Each structure stands twice: as structure tokens, then as C-alpha cells.
Amino acid sequence: MAKYFDVSVEDIFNTMEARFRVEGAKGVNAVLAYDISGDGGGKWLVEVRDDSVKVAKTDDLSGFSVKTSADAETFVGVNIGKIDGTQAFMSGKIKIEGDMALVAASAKMFTRYSLPKKSAVTVQGIFDTLVARFQPQNAAGLDISVGYDITGEDGGQWTAVIKDGKCALETGLRDNCAVVNIVKAKDYIDLILGKLDPMVAMGAGRLKLKGDMNVAMQLPKIFAKFEPPKEEEEQELIVIKRNISVDMKYSTGPVMGKFFEGLIEKKILANKCPKCGRMQVPPREVCAECRCWAGDMIEVGPSGTITLIEIIYYSSPDPLTGETRETPYAQVHILLDGIGTEETFWHLLKNEDLADTKKGDRVRPVWSDKRVGSVHDIIHFERIRD
């Protein structure tokens, strides 16, 4: 089974039912389809219904609410947090068909996949404790060196020099070792932890002893048993969820207030600095550059020219409503007609204009029928095509 970051695609799906969070799936009835390409990939259907989940490997993905397609490495990477999901989506490595909002919601429905813990015991760790494990009472009169030739990844060579009831550890192998243990790193760890029997290992040729066998037989007495460091269980701790909100009322003041009043009348008002002539829309009381009151209001636009266009493909949920704006959508900077300076106005572009609109195109506001003095009195700007 192909693994990416030590995890297979199967690992992700096989643990999904166990990772399901009922509280994160309240009111969700949906079929999430996954089409994972590449080595270790496949097709899965995840059905979330009535506070429960069913995960099945399948060949038929029909009837889904949302389908996520990705290559196996990207899929695993995003699921274990090694790859940024938003970036993968933006760069086209993840494709989503159907109800996008469900993808964001699925992050709440499942706890994140976590890697099974790796052994914390290393060869270096074992040798770090060797001197401390030396038992002088069992080494009286000994004047020997014991060599360790631990081969393979994370291996190394060490010599324990035992003399006068003391033990010193050196790196490298001394020529005069009474005995040298030759063993692969992984097998050595298993031997030390008691997972591999020394006789079995010797019989299979996985442990070789070069030199004085009698010394080798004494080693378990000369050094106390290695105690592996206690692995702390990663406990799932309680996370407290709250939505903090305090109702606010914002004064608009005599400058911005007039701008909002203007919107009701389908007028866009800018303010102008009496010193430098700079115009601001939406208007603010002060010209930051001249540090003076800038209360003169001038009607501008409503048409203008796009100076900057930004298309959003991945929308964040509104923190208060939880709703996610339909994507893609575009925000545009517009230099409104009559603005003598460079200050642009910022609004949305009509979705139908998304495909072929560019910097320099002319736009006009589309007014809402119910205008109350808010930024939404303008629904969006649309291209002037005549």
C-alpha cells in the first residue's frame, strides 16, 4: 500500500467512522464522494445522515452532494495537515464538484487523522543510558572493552571500556575489544526491548558476536536492563467552543453618514481635502496626509473604470451567520468618474462579468430596490458593454 507521509489513503478512510464528531454534523444529511487518483487511490463514498456516518469503498460515485477529486499524495497531505488545503485547491490539485460549503463543513464533522505513534526508543537513546546502567558490583576485576557495531540507518559504533569498576563509553570501535556485537539498528532495539530473543537472532544470523562469547554472556549482568522512556498517551482534551458576540451600534458621523444617505438616493459621495484636493470614497472625516478636517462632499461616478480585479475561489464563512459566499466571486477597485486623484472605491463585480472583465473596463453600479443606507444598496458593479 502506497504511503505518503507514512500514511496511506486507506488509513484515512478506515479511521473516518471513528473520527466522526456527532456535534459537528448536526443537521447535515449529505453524501461526500472522494475520487482519489494515483498509487493507493480509489473511490469512496461517505454518507452522513441523522448523526451517523457510513464509509464505503465503491466503484460508483453517483448521487453525491459534493465530490472531491485529488491525487493520493495531496489527499493524504491535506488530511494530516502536511499540505495546505486552500493552496492545494487554488492550484487545482484538489477539485470540488457540487456543494462547496460541505467541504468546509466536513472539517467540523471529523477530527483530524493523527499518525500512530512511532517508537521513542533510538539506538542513540540506548547508548546514552549505558554508563548509567553499568553495575560495578557485577564487573569486579574486569578490564575489557566491549564493542558495538550497530549497522543500518540510525546505527553507529561504540565501545564500552570497563576497568577498575568503572565504565566509559567511546564512539568508534577499539581494536582490542573482547567482544563486538554486530547487529542492525532495528534488531538491536528489539533485542534491548526484549522483543527479539538473542538466541533466535544469533541463529538467524541477525546478531553476530565476534570475540569472547563468555564476555558476551556476562553482558546482561554488567548492564542493567534498559527501561524505555514512558510514552505519554496523547489524551484528547476538552476544547471549549463559544461564539462571542456583543451587539454594537456604529455612529456614521457627519461625513460617512452623508455617504450612506447618498446611497439611498442612488448617489455616490466622496469627500475632498480642502488643502490637497485628495478625494476619499467611502469618505472619512480627516485627510490623513494634511491632518485636517475634510468635510466637503462631492458627488462622483456612479460609473467608473476598474483598476484592480481580484477573483476569490475559496470563501471564508461569515463568522456571524456561518454562511459562505458563493464562489468564485470578484472584488474590484474602481476609479469612479469625477475622482480627480488616485483613490479608488471597492465593491463586488457581477458574477456574469467574471469571465471576461479586466483592468481598464468600464463599470456601473446595480442598485438595490430596497436601499437603507448600507454598502449593500449597491448590489454589485456590472460591465458597461454598449
Site residues (CB under 8 A) for other proteins? 240, 242, 244, 246-256, 284-289, 291, 293
Residue 2 or 372: which CB sits closer to other proteins? 372
Task: Report the C-alpha gap between 319 and 244 in whole angstroms.
Answer: 10
β-pair partners for 159: 147, 170
Task: Report the C-alpha gap between 273 and 259 in whole angstroms.
Answer: 15
Strands 42-49 and 30-37: antiparallel
Q: And the C-alpha cell for 73?
A: 499524495
Residue 285 or 337: which CB sits closer to other proteins? 285
DSSP string, 35-57: EEESTT-EEEEEEEETTEEEEEE
Residue 122 or 252: which CB sits closer to other proteins? 252
Q: Which residue has the cell 488530511?
A: 79
The one-letter code for the residue type at 186 is K
Residue 144 or 255: which CB sits closer to other proteins? 255
By CB neighbour count within 10 A (0-12 exposed, 13-18 middle, 19+ buried), where does 42 fall? middle
Task: Report the C-alpha gap between 181 and 155 in whole angstroms.
Answer: 12
| Cis-peptide, bond into residue 328, ω within 30° of zero | yes
Residue 218 or 271: which CB sits closer to other proteins? 271
Q: How far is the CB of 245 from other proteins (least distance, A)?
A: 9
Task: Report the C-alpha gap between 58 and 62 in whole angstroms.
Answer: 10
Strands 94-98 and 143-151: unpaired
Residue 238 or 355: which CB sits closer to other proteins? 238
Residue 217 or 276: which CB sits closer to other proteins? 276
Q: How far is the CB of 275 from other proteins (least distance, A)?
A: 13
Residue 9 or 294: which CB sits closer to other proteins? 294
Task: Report the C-alpha gap between 274 and 293 in whole angstroms.
Answer: 8
Q: How far is the CB of 294 from other proteins (least distance, A)?
A: 10
Residue 125 or 373: which CB sits closer to other proteins? 373
Contact 10, 1 (CB under 8 A): yes
By CB neighbour count within 10 A (0-12 exposed, 13-18 middle, 19+ buried), where does 43 fall? middle
Q: And the C-alpha cell for 157?
A: 559504533
Characterize 273-301 residue by residue with b for buried, 16 or more Cβ atoms within 10 angstroms of its Cβ, and e for exposed. Answer: beeeebbbbbbeeebeeeeeebbebeebb
Q: How far is the CB of 106 from other proteins (least distance, A)?
A: 26
Distances (CA, A) of 184 to 128, 129, 157, 198, 364: 18, 19, 11, 13, 74
